[in-house]
A and B are shown apart, each in its own frame.
Chain A
Amino acid sequence: GIQVEQSPPDLILQEGANSTLRCNFSDSVNNLQWFHQNPWGQLINLFYIPSGTKQNGRLSATTVATERYSLLYISSSQTTDSGVYFCAVGGYNFNKFYFGSGTKLNVKP
């Protein structure tokens, strides 16, 4: 299967700081998504981004498919941004979706 590596595993920020989360993957992908898992366990879709750049408010993401990595940018972080951020990819045989190990973010007031 496709290997997905996320870094850093843990991140502590002061409110208002910016951060970059990274996702590396081992093969060509047809799907790449970023999720935020809130403290109640709900997975929130942030971006569907197999290539290119997207922005949504304070969040943006960039995927460079030829180099097999994706970046999630969080600007002006807020305490509500705390939680675990997962990157997940799907290959061209879209029967499987591979998750990275996640980045646990703690934003302190």
Chain B
Amino acid sequence: SAVISQKPSRDICQRGTSLTIQCQVDSQVTMMFWYRQQPGQSLTLIATANQGSEATYESGFVIDKFPISRPNLTFSTLTVSNMSPEDSSIYLCSVDLAAYNEQFFGPGTRLTVL
């Protein structure tokens, strides 16, 4: 399996500000994924982050709102920009381990926007 950490674990932010969430993995992985889980809902994929290339965004998510960095094979960041209360969600990163063909998730970042 993989050990995945996220920072911060939770935050309360004011509308109009931005928050950067970090995801660190204890092994090198090709693909990292960012998900959003709105209150009471299932998980929705925001984007796929590959090292050395731009992230691939899903329909309804844009780079200006959710810029992603992937500087190396163990680390990625997701920024939630110009936040509004509708951005209040749990944000989770995940990785797939090629050897297992299985996805593992970080503990999540619980974001509240006032």
Chain B interface bracket (under 10, 10 to 19, 20 to 34, 35 or more): 20 to 34
Residue of A nearest to B59 (CB): A1
Q: Does A72 contact B (CB under 8 A)?
A: no
- Binary per-residue interface labels of chain B (57-92) against chain A in the complex, 1 for a CB within 8 Å, 0 otherwise: 010000000000000000000000000000000101
Stretch at the interface among A60-68, A73-81, A93-101: A93-101
On whether the beta carbons of B102 and A95 are closer than 8 Å, the reply is no
Residue of B nearest to A42 (CB): B107
On whether the beta carbons of A101 and B42 are closer than 8 Å, the reply is yes
Using a Cβ cutoff of 8 Å, how many contacts connect chains A and B? 52
Residue of B nearest to A98 (CB): B45
On whether the beta carbons of A33 and B48 are closer than 8 Å, the reply is no
Chain A interface bracket (under 10, 10 to 19, 20 to 34, 35 or more): 20 to 34
Q: Does B13 contact A (CB under 8 A)?
A: no
On whether the beta carbons of A43 and B102 are closer than 8 Å, the reply is no
CA distance A30 to B103 in the complex (A): 12
> What is the CB-to-nearest-CB distance from A21 to chain B, in angstroms, rounded to a whole number?
14
B103: which of A33, A42, A100, A102 is its contact (CB, 8 Å)? Answer: A33
CA distance A35 to B43 in the complex (A): 12
Q: Does B7 contact A (CB under 8 A)?
A: no
- Binary per-residue interface labels of chain B (36-53) against chain A in the complex, 1 for a CB within 8 Å, 0 otherwise: 010001111100100000
